[in-house]
């Protein structure tokens, strides 16, 4: 009798190039995504050692972190260091003969984790890595996808493999159906609220259950994207008809006989019924509300109907951390979250910069205006998302509501480009991290779904989107 | 990579939990195309005021801790992004070992690629070492990787666990890529088989 396996076990087994006696394995990498921030030192390492890129055809390159999102970027990036990084990426692409490169002028350019799936590079059963922690996004396709450091970027460039030890298996099941106004982002944040930011450390998470199955690929990508915020090595969702329908016909997805063969294998990619789990978390979808973060860690999650907590409610080191967070966020315990005023709204990022996110925000914004004094920005995750939003009339809704409608990039998720918060500014953001200084020096971030961010834009304070849905 | 040697040095206490990589090295310093020179910006937003002057309250700005080579930190150190700039900055500052109850996965990996040793200890031990570190420059802690021990300034010895392969690589200063390229035949064989089993890859 064969041993029962999880989805992670199956993908792992299919990629082992060599296994040492102690379990240290050399794992084959099917797709390597490369951007400008974490790659220059890796290419320099190759150059110094006289090494080549082992598999240029499996290497996908796109600048995203530094690129401005204003139309003038095509002529010139004003910031010297940002320009140098983007230029160095182009030089490395030329020097190492990398064929799959989407530069700023290419309509397909965007955030690397949005471009990969869009172009059909990300497929079920693959190993996908990138020098970026949000590589977890690609797990939505039933692939093993995770972030790596620059030394490992160099290792993959040189060998198309990674030295790995296997993680443990964790199952996160979301049972039942989501209530109106509750989205994939609320699932992602609620899981982290339940596990803490270290709850997934040492594990690969498989998300399953009725509520996960009901999500679109966009929603699944949002959930897997934030696996890293729960500390997990990777998050994944078994591929199904929703996955196959998304993948089919993409520029780099298999065609003809290859498609048939691929589909046959992909259909086997699910955890066995009797698979063993090292850890299990189950949440009922009905219990998940629209949530926001109040502090400076993604685990600081509460329903929008809640109040700012008192640090004394916590245990151990979290007491001091919460005290520090509230001081940084300028919040007083007991304040209703829906009374917290905001200065800025950011819609975008690899977490929520896809077409479905644009639609969800536009649905709230249609016929409404951004509150006076609030600065709101919509940054599509790729040039193709932007084009589709234009075509669907969403861009007009954003502009009419008073949003700035930008070009694609990581933008204010981390503010490596000029899109940053000013000190003290408070932002309703669809991004993934509310760390101190993340969106700008002394900037304050509240994480939430696109619909919730749109609702906050309209009212000027954190808002329960369900109130706007009922109107 | 340099071989990891036994360290006897001042340990700086940072009891905060969830110290993230944005705190360790903020985004504006990720624009470099070099590995070196990031030490002066380690913990930049905690260490300096907005006008660039030092925040005298920050531990590494206190005279006793300016030459720290060991960090004792709260739970889940290094959470957040994959930026290897975090261990680059830590190493460039002169920190050779970190002691905490837990680390984020990618940060933990990145440390080993740069000769920095992240040590995992139970909460009780981290608490003892944190108190020891509070004593300042007179309290020297010893980290011995070969013996897998940390010795407090009072002479208390604590054992720690570490993966055998990682330990070997640190002690010998081995280059991962060189090791993997020794398995080039295995990689070639895998790729040949891949052409048949998953030709669409």
A82 contacts on B by Cβ (under 8 Å) = 31
> What is the Rg, in whole angstroms, of the alpha carbon atoms belonging to chain B?
19
Residue B26 has pLDDT above 80, yes or no: yes
Q: What percent of chain A has pLDDT over 70?
A: 99
- pLDDT at position A303 is 98
Residue A1 has pLDDT above 60, yes or no: no
In terms of pLDDT, which residue wins out, A108 or A71?
Answer: A108
Convert A115-181 into a string of H (helix), E (strand) and C (coil). Answer: HHHHCCCCCCCCEEEECCHHHHHHHHHCCEEEECCHHHHHHHHHHCEEEECCCEEEEEEEECCCCCC
Instruction: Pick B33's closest partner by Cβ from A18, A41, A232.
Output: A41
Residue A74 has pLDDT above 80, yes or no: no
| pLDDT tens, residue by residue, A428-442 | 999 999 999 999 999
- How does the average pLDDT of chain B come out, rounded? 96
- How does the average pLDDT of chain A come out, rounded? 97
A28 contacts on B by Cβ (under 8 Å) = 187, 190-191, 194
Q: What percent of chain A has pLDDT over 90?
A: 97
E strand or H helix that includes residue B86: helix B85-93
Q: Which residues contact B40 (CB under 8 A, 6 or more apart)?
A: B92, B93
Q: Categorize the per-residue pLDDT at A72 as very low, low, confident or very high, splitting at 50, 70 and 90.
A: confident
Integer distance in angstroms from the first to the last C-alpha of chain A? 59
Q: Pick the residue from chain A with its C-alpha nearest to B200.
A: A254
- pLDDT at position A31 is 98
Residue A7 has pLDDT above 90, yes or no: yes
**Dihedral sign of CA atoms B77, B80, B83, B85 in order:** negative
CA distances in angstroms from A400 to A69, A369, A392, A396, listed in the order given: 19, 7, 14, 6
B29 contacts on A by Cβ (under 8 Å) = none
Interface contact A26-B30, CB threshold 8 A = no
Question: Would you say how long chain B is, in residues?
Answer: 201
Instruction: Kindly report the nearest CA distance between residue B148 and chain A, in angstroms.
Output: 19
Residue A15 has pLDDT above 60, yes or no: yes
> How large is the average pLDDT for residues A150-160?
98
> How large is the average pLDDT for residues A140-165?
98
d(CA A182, CA A215): 12
**Contacts A–B by Cβ distance under 8 A:** 192
> How large is the average pLDDT for residues A112-136?
98
Q: Categorize the per-residue pLDDT at A470 as very low, low, confident or very high, splitting at 50, 70 and 90.
A: low
Q: Pick the residue from chain B with its C-alpha nearest to A40.
A: B33
> How large is the average pLDDT for residues A321-349?
98
> How large is the average pLDDT for residues B82-100?
98
| pLDDT tens, residue by residue, A351-375 | 999 999 999 999 999 999 999 999 9
Interface contact B186-A82, CB threshold 8 A = no
Q: Categorize the per-residue pLDDT at A471 as very low, low, confident or very high, splitting at 50, 70 and 90.
A: low
Instruction: Pick B82's closest partner by Cβ from A22, A54, A131.
Output: A131
- pLDDT at position A35 is 98
pTM exceeds cut of 0.90: yes
> How large is the average pLDDT for residues B157-172?
96
Q: Categorize the per-residue pLDDT at A75 as very low, low, confident or very high, splitting at 50, 70 and 90.
A: confident
Interface contact B15-A320, CB threshold 8 A = yes
């Amino acid at each position: 009798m064969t041993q029962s396996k999880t989805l992670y076990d199956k993908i792992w087994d299919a990629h082992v190039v060599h296994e040492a006696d102690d379990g240290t394995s050399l794992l084959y990498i099917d797709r390597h995504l490369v951007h400008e921030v974490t790659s220059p030192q890796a290419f320099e390492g190759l150059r110094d050692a006289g090494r080549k890129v082992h598999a240029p055809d499996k290497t996908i390159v796109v600048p995203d972190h530094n690129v401005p999102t204003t139309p003038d970027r095509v002529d010139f990036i004003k910031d010297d260091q940002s320009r140098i990084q983007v230029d160095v990426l182009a030089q490395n692409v030329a020097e190492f003969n990398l064929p799959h490169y989407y530069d700023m002028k290419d309509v397909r350019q965007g955030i690397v984790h949005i471009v990969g799936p869009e172009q059909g590079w990300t497929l079920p059963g693959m190993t996908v890595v990138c020098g970026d922690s949000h590589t977890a996004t690609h797990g939505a396709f039933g692939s093993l996808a995770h972030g790596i450091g620059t030394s490992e970027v160099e290792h993959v460039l040189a060998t198309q493999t990674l030295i790995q030890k296997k993680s443990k298996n964790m199952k996160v099941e979301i049972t039942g159906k989501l209530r109106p106004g509750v989205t994939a982002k609320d699932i992602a944040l609620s899981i982290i609220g339940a596990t803490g930011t270290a709850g997934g450390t040492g594990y690969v998470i498989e998300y399953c259950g009725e509520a996960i199955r009901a999500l679109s690929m966009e929603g699944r990508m949002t959930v897997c994207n934030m696996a890293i915020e729960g500390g997990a090595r990777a998050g994944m969702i078994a591929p199904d008809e929703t996955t196959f329908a998304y993948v089919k016909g993409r520029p780099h997805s298999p065609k003809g006989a290859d498609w048939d063969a691929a589909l046959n294998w992909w259909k086997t990619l699910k955890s066995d019924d009797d698979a063993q789990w090292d850890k299990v978390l189950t949440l009922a979808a009905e219990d998940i509300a629209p949530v926001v973060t109040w502090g400076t860690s993604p685990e600081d999650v509460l329903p929008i109907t809640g109040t700012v907590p008192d640090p004394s409610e916590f245990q151990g080191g979290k007491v001091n951390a919460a005290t520090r967070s509230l001081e940084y966020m300028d919040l007083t315990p007991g304040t209703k979250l829906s009374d917290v005023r905001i200065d800025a709204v950011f819609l975008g990022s690899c977490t929520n910069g896809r077409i479905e996110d644009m639609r969800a925000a536009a649905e709230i914004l249609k016929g409404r205006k951004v509150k006076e004094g609030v600065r709101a920005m919509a940054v599509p995750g790729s040039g193709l998302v932007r084009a589709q939003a234009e075509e669907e009339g969403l861009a007009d809704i954003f502009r009419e509501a008073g949003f700035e409608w930008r070009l694609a990039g990581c933008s204010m998720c981390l503010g490596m480009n000029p899109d940053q918060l000013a000190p003290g500014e408070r932002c309703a953001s669809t991004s993934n991290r509310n760390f101190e200084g993340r969106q700008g020096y002394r900037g304050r971030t509240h994480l939430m779904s696109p619909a919730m961010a749109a609702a906050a834009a309209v009212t000027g304070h954190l808002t329960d989107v369900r109130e706007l849905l009922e109107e | 990579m340099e071989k990891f040697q036994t360290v006897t040095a001042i340990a700086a206490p940072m009891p905060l939990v969830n110290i993230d990589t944005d705190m360790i090295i903020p985004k504006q310093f990720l624009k470099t195309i070099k590995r070196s020179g990031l030490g002066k910006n380690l913990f930049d937003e905690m260490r300096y005021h907005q006008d660039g002057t030092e925040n005298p309250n920050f531990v590494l700005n206190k005279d006793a801790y300016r030459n720290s080579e060991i960090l004792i930190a709260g739970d889940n150190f290094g959470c957040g992004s994959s930026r290897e700039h975090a261990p680059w900055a830590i190493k460039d500052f002169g920190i050779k070992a970190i002691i905490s109850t837990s680390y984020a996965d990618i940060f933990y990996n990145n440390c080993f690629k740069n000769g920095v040793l992240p040590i995992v200890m139970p909460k009780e031990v981290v608490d003892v070492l944190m108190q020891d570190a509070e004593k300042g420059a007179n309290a020297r802690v010893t980290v011995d990787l070969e013996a897998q021990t940390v010795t407090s300034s009072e002479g208390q010895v604590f054992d720690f666990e570490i993966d055998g392969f990682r330990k070997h690589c640190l002690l010998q200063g081995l280059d991962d890529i060189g090791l993997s390229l020794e398995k080039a035949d295995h990689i070639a064989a895998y790729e040949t088989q891949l052409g048949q089993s998953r030709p669409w890859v």
